[in-house]
Amino acid sequence: MPLDSKRLQETEGFDSGSEIQDKKNFQTPRLEDSLIRSYDYFWSKGQGNFFYREGAGSIHVRSFIESRNQALLVILPGRGESSLKYAEIAHELKGHGYDILIIDHRGQGLSERQNGVSDHIHIENFDDYVEDLQFIYEHFKEHKSYKTKHILAHSMGGAIALRHIQKYGKDIWDGILLSSPMLKIKSKTIPLFLGQWILKFYTLIGRRLNPIWKREVQDSKRVFEGNNVTHCPHRFSWARRMEELHPHILSGAPTIQWLKESISTGQKVLKDKTLYKKPILLIQADQDIVVCNEAQNKFAHEVENCRIIRLKDCRHEVLQEVNSVRNRALVQITQFLKNLN
């Protein structure tokens, strides 16, 4: 059962949209207003649910549920992201007939941190993410019957979604939306086999809990200039503002063990593709240097019911891009869901 949801606003220092507006520093008022409305919607209409999971503590799920809705959409963020980052898309899909769940994966977002690695993104076994998803899905399924069930997954969330299908069958989800899915992590200099050998070596010498990059590198990722995830300075700044208002959602670098497990999972989801029978929409960012587009192309070519959309002038975080790019993705997402319903 979920834990007490009221403590979320108490511990995170909830600010209303008006309070944010007093401290605003934006150049595009319409986008600013939209983000503030989404933030208000997240806190005023969303319900905070906490599920205890062994080895992870409490996992937070933000739910937006209305009795009239007959479809379910589960949103799986990427590594280090919080559910707050998906308040905008949840607000945009309001009134479309979907109950929405946004899962803060174990050890990140508004979920509890693990002792010993609280500053880093860590996982002992990647399938722990998958088991968390199944546990949460079963809970909400028991309380309401849905005609259709869909999943929208970004980056690491995409690997979780596909692995979930491999483990729990092809019939759970009626449609799968993948945004820059992490099928293979992009390496600029080190070949995959050598990288895996190095990771095994670090594990053998007891460094598997070490972060894969230093604090200075992590801090540099919070500066817009030179970032590799979005062209949109306003959404980038908004995400930093959320981290200032809610310091708990800040995440450090992934650990060596996380990287080792993520590489292994990417190989698994690419190896057995026979279970991917339901419609899949894969949205690819043409300027992605975080995950490997070649692996996505191979996946889309070999999976029978997968359609791939390549967005021009787009970096890794599709839903955090400038409106001219993001709106193209949003049209594809809403049309895909509409066709399935």
Helix (H) or strand (E) holding 217: helix 215-220
* Residue showing tokens 């595009």: 28
What is the rounded CA–CA span in Å between residue 221 and residue 219?
5
3-state secondary structure 271-327: HCCCCCCCCEEEEEECCCCCECHHHHHHHHHHCCCEEEEEECCCCCCHHHCCHHHHH
What is the rounded CA–CA span in Å between residue 162 and residue 91?
25
DSSP letters along 229-276, please? Answer: S-S-HHHHHHHHHHHHH-GGG---PBBHHHHHHHHHHHHHHHH--TT-
Query: Quick one: pLDDT at residue 214?
Result: 77
Which residue ranges form the domains of the chain, and what is each CATH number?
A: 2-340 (3.40.50.1820)
Q: Give yes or no for a contact between 80 and 243, defined as CB atoms under 8 angstroms apart.
A: no
Per-residue pLDDT of the chain (341 residues; tens, 9 = 90+): 444 333 343 333 334 444 454 444 444 558 999 999 999 999 999 999 999 998 889 999 999 999 999 999 999 999 999 999 999 999 999 999 999 999 999 999 999 998 666 778 999 999 999 999 999 999 999 989 999 999 999 999 999 999 999 999 888 999 999 999 999 999 877 887 788 888 989 999 988 899 888 766 666 678 999 999 999 999 999 999 999 999 999 988 999 999 999 999 999 999 888 889 999 999 999 999 999 999 999 999 999 999 999 999 999 999 999 999 999 999 999 999 999 87
pTM of the model: 0.91
